[in-house]
Every structure is written in C-alpha cells, then in structure tokens.
C-alpha cells in the first residue's frame, strides 16, 4: 500500500475496532443470550468468550503487505469467538478455504497473507442459521442490533474496497442474502452502496460457502470445458452477483 492508502486503511480499521467496542458495551446482555442458545444444543463445554468479534488479524496488516483480495464470510462461529483466536474464518470452513487456495496456486493468493477477511455481522452464533433464533430469543433489541450490524459491515466492506481497489471481493454464503433471508439487510445495503458504481460493482463476486465443500463442489459442477479455474470463478461469481444484486 502507498502512504495514502495505508493512512486510509489504518483509519478505517480503527473506526471498525471502535464500533465493535461500542456495540459490545451497548449489548451487555448479549453473551448470556448466546450462552443459553449454546447450552440448548452443545452443552457446558462450549463457552461463549467473545459475543461480538473483531477480526484481530487486521491488526497484523502492515503497509508492506500485499492485500490482493477481500473475502466476506457470514458471522463468527465457535472457533472464531474463542479467546485464543478472535479471527474470522479459522474454523472448519476457513481450513477448507486455505486448502482451496493452496491447491490452486495459479490464483496467486496466499489465503492468510494476501486476504482481508470480513463478515456480514460480527455477532457470534454457533451456526449462522441460529442468528434468526438469537433474534427471537433476545427480542427486539438484539434483532435490531444484528440488522444494524449488517448495514455497518456492508459499509465497512465498501470503505476497504475503495482503499484497496482494484481488487476482487468474494462474498460467500450468498443463499441467505435473499429477500427474507438472514442477511437481507446486508444485501439491501450493498445494493444501495454499489448501485451507481459499475466499476466497483463488477469486482464483486458471489459464491456458495466453503463449509461442507459447497464452494468446491459448485465450482466443479459449473466449470466448463476449456476454462481454467480463474475464468470459471469469474463467470460463476458474476452470475451469482446478478442473482443477488439484480442487474
């Protein structure tokens, strides 16, 4: 990054960190709701340690690092919220993502060195689908906070995208971005932010999630004869972009 980009990156990162801390303080009851939710399914061995997770990997980015790629996942799961981690995509899905890029060196991406990882919300649940249950269980205050956090995270993506552009942005787990889906607010905000920015919008690509090998299976099924991996990814990701954001 040049000095101008680094200054903007650092300022955006600090705003992100400050917002996370403010959100934590505004929801003192959130951890108890999350722990009760966990106890119903996983039992007492699973302790909620970080109800709202800031991706601490961002603190290790330096001006010399070559961020080539932005990836947006869903929300922090069990591994991501653990005090020993507090990073995004470090659980099973993250390991599958690392494996994919390691097995496709032609993409030129070191997943842990060249990627800026964000989420659609920083609020933890064991499974993404349980965000809806957390909304019902926590009531209007928690439901509003989850929706508002999606709007903020979409704006954060746009800010980092502008700083690092031109750069590809992969948004994985698009199925819940539909109308009525868990991440509808994120989608609506993203659509508004990129509506009149065709150049930046063309750098957005949508895919299935890495979990349970959905991403790899979908890529294999939709690849065409004669295409290399990068060409297939661009075509598939652009088609899903039109499905999610419209034309």
pLDDT at 43 over 70: no
Which comes out higher in pLDDT, residue 247 or 55?
A: 55
Contacts of 53 (CB under 8 A, 6+ apart): 20, 76, 80, 81, 86, 88, 119, 122, 124
**pTM across the whole model:** 0.96
Mean pLDDT of 96-116: 95
Lowest mean pLDDT among 44-48, 66-70, 177-181: 44-48
**pLDDT band (50, 70, 90) for residue 66:** confident
Counting the structural domains of the chain, the total is 1
pLDDT at 40 over 90: no
pLDDT at 37 over 80: yes
Domain that holds residue 138: 3-245
Residue-level pLDDT at 189 = 98
CA distances (Å), origin 141, targets 9, 121, 126, 148:
31, 15, 20, 11
* Residue whose pair of structure tokens reads 């903007």 in the numeric block: 8
Whole-number average pLDDT of the chain: 95
CA distances (Å), origin 168, targets 199, 217, 230:
11, 21, 12
CA distances (Å), origin 229, targets 16, 18, 57, 110, 199:
34, 39, 28, 16, 23
Q: How far apart are CA 228 and CA 21, in angstroms?
A: 43
- Of 140, 144, 130, nearest to 48 by C-alpha is 130
**pLDDT band (50, 70, 90) for residue 157:** very high
Mean pLDDT of 104-114: 93
The distance in angstroms from the start CA to the end CA of the chain is 32
- Of 26, 104, 32, 18, nearest to 69 by C-alpha is 104
Residue-level pLDDT at 42 = 67
**CATH number, domain with residue 119:** 3.40.470
Whether residue 18 contacts residue 58, with contact meaning beta carbons closer than 8 Å, is answered with: no
């Amino acid at each position: 990054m040049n000095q101008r980009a680094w200054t903007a990156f650092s300022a955006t990162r600090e705003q992100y960190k400050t917002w996370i801390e403010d959100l934590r303080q505004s929801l003192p009851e959130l951890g108890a709701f999350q722990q009760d939710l966990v106890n119903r399914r996983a039992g007492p061995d699973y302790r909620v340690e970080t109800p709202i997770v800031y991706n601490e990997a961002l603190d290790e980015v330096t001006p010399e690092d070559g961020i080539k790629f932005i990836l947006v996942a869903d929300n922090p799961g069990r591994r991501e919220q653990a005090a020993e981690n507090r990073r995004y995509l470090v659980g099973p899905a993250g390991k599958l993502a690392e494996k994919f890029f390691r097995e496709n060196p032609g993409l030129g991406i070191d997943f842990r060195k060249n990627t800026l990882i964000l989420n659609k919300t920083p609020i933890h649940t064991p499974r993404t689908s349980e965000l809806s249950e957390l909304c019902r269980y926590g009531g209007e205050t928690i439901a509003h906070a989850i929706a508002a956090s999606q709007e903020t995270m979409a704006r954060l993506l746009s800010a980092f995208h502008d700083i690092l552009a031109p750069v590809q942005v992969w948004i994985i787990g698009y199925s819940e971005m539909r109308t009525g889906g868990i991440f509808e607010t994120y989608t609506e905000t993203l659509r508004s932010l990129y509506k009149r920015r065709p150049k930046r919008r063309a750098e957005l690509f949508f895919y299935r999630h890495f979990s349970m090998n959905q991403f790899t299976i979908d890529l294999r099924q939709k690849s065409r004869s004669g295409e290399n991996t990068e060409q297939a990814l661009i075509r598939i990701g652009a088609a899903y972009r039109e499905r999610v954001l419209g034309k």
